[in-house]
Structure 1
Amino acid sequence: MRLYLIRHGEITGAHTRRYNGHRDVELSENGRIQIERLAEYLRERVEIDAFYSSDLKRSIDSARIIADRYQSRPIAIPDIRERNFGEWEGMTFDEICEKYPNAFYSWAKDPLNYSPIGGESTIEVRDRIMPVIEELSKKHRSDTIAIVGHGGINRIIICELLGIPLKNIFRIEQDFGALNIIDFFENINIVKLVNLTLE
């Protein structure tokens, strides 16, 4: 299987650095342009057999823009959603540091195991999304598929497929509209491309 793993386009209010998590925010006009560009790039180069995405609007709208070029429709999978940030949902980095300084310090120190109240740890997110990736890789063994996910989700998927410790997730950049390509073989996964953006 070849996986085109994509991050959704830029969202409204992206400059505020909010922890959106499960909040349903819209693509910005620039975000739509980013994904239109990527859709054109992909359509000119590759055939894609199936399209999947998170069920959050920013992801499913991005997936629809790409799938439309192939006269196809994406399938939304709730388990591909971004991390749930619990009480931090919708807050900016500065707001979290001000209101929950101790909790933010604990999360920054151990993001693998610590979760905000009502939210998910990195380990919990991994345990939610990786069974989906495994199931899709079995279903589409000889196919080329696209998944439109989120920054945090994509980082975890890349780390897990390469066998890289999850403590390194923030060392993998995932810009808005980023494209990653991963090939699945019987006993090994090979990352062909990481974080390509089209400007």
Structure 2
Amino acid sequence: MSLTLYFLRHGQTGCSLKNAFCGSIDSELTPEGLEMAKAFADAYTSTPWRAVFCSPMQRTVATAAPLCAALEIQPELRQGLKEINYGKWEGKSPEIISQEYHDDYLRWSADPAWYAPTGGEMAVTIAYRAMQVIEEIKQLYTSGNILVVSHKATIRIILCSLLGIDVGRFRYRIGCPVASVSVVEFTSHGPLLRSMADRTHLNERLRNLPGT
């Protein structure tokens, strides 16, 4: 049996509903976000999990909680799985940021790998810390299913790193809506993307909520 990682983005938050940048803000799940977390647990409890690794932010911990409760296990919290720090852009919409930090926003939009949000983190920094967690998992587990609960930008950057895609393209090559799951299997030929941004565990109402 090979090692398979399931990357789950947290459920809906107030920031995702408003399409506002949310990295270091420790936002909570909305009631609908909590529904998404339960829907994931209901659909995936029967999967033979070996461990759950999770960003320590409350929105990710709350997303992992229903599954962990059903499995009677504790999530392994890792700082490296936290979302990109958006610095002075935190809590603001792209439209506002484009007005207030126009030049920085243009540079970041063109190449977020090497340009950071004003006062924030570059994608290469996220790749470095997040991939350390992935390497830790690979050393601890050579086979089985591992759940990784993280954030929109961080998951996309990890997927780019694993699949050989320039991390500077993470915003334009990888989709990652709230409560979506992307699956990577480690084969003899390296990482293989089995599925991306799957949300079939959500009912139609949850899948079609605005701002996700």
The two structures share one fold, judged by TM-score above 0.5: yes
The equivalent of 2:74 in structure 1 is 73
Q: Report which stretch shifted further, 136-145 or 20-29.
A: 136-145
C-alpha distance in 2, partners of 1:175/1:151? 7
Q: TM-score, normalised by structure 1?
A: 0.94
Contact 2:15 2:21 in 1 (8 A): no
8 A contact 1:137–1:184 mirrored in 2: no
How far the C-alpha of 1:150 sits from its partner, in A, is 0.5
1:130 aligned partner: 131
Per the alignment, residue 146 of structure 1 pairs with 147
What TM-score does the superposition give when structure 2 sets the normalisation length?
0.89
What's 1:24 paired with?
26
1:43-122 map, 5 Å: 43-44=45-46, 46-122=47-123
Q: Within 1, Cα distance between the matches of 2:133 and 2:66?
A: 22
The aligned residue for residue 165 of structure 1 is: 166
Identity percentage of aligned residues? 27
Q: Which runs of 5+ in 2 are unaligned?
A: 204-212
- Structure 1: gaps of 5 or more residues: none
AA aligned to 2:16 is A
Tell me the matched-pair count: 198
* SS of structure 2 residue aligned to 1:69: helix
Kindly indicate whether the alpha-carbon contact (under 8 Å) linking 2:80 and 2:132 is maintained by their aligned counterparts in 1: no
The answer to which of 22-31 and 7-16 deviates more is 7-16
1:15-70 Cα offsets, whole Å, 9 max, x none, are 321111111000011111111111111113x1101111101110111111221121
Q: 12, 15, 18: which is aligned to 2:17?
A: 15
For 2:92 and 2:21, the matched residues in 1 are separated by 6
Letter in structure 2 aligned against 1:121: M
C-alpha RMSD of matched pairs (Å): 1.3
AA in 2 matched with 1:145:
I
Tell me which of 176, 180, 183 is aligned to 2:182.
180
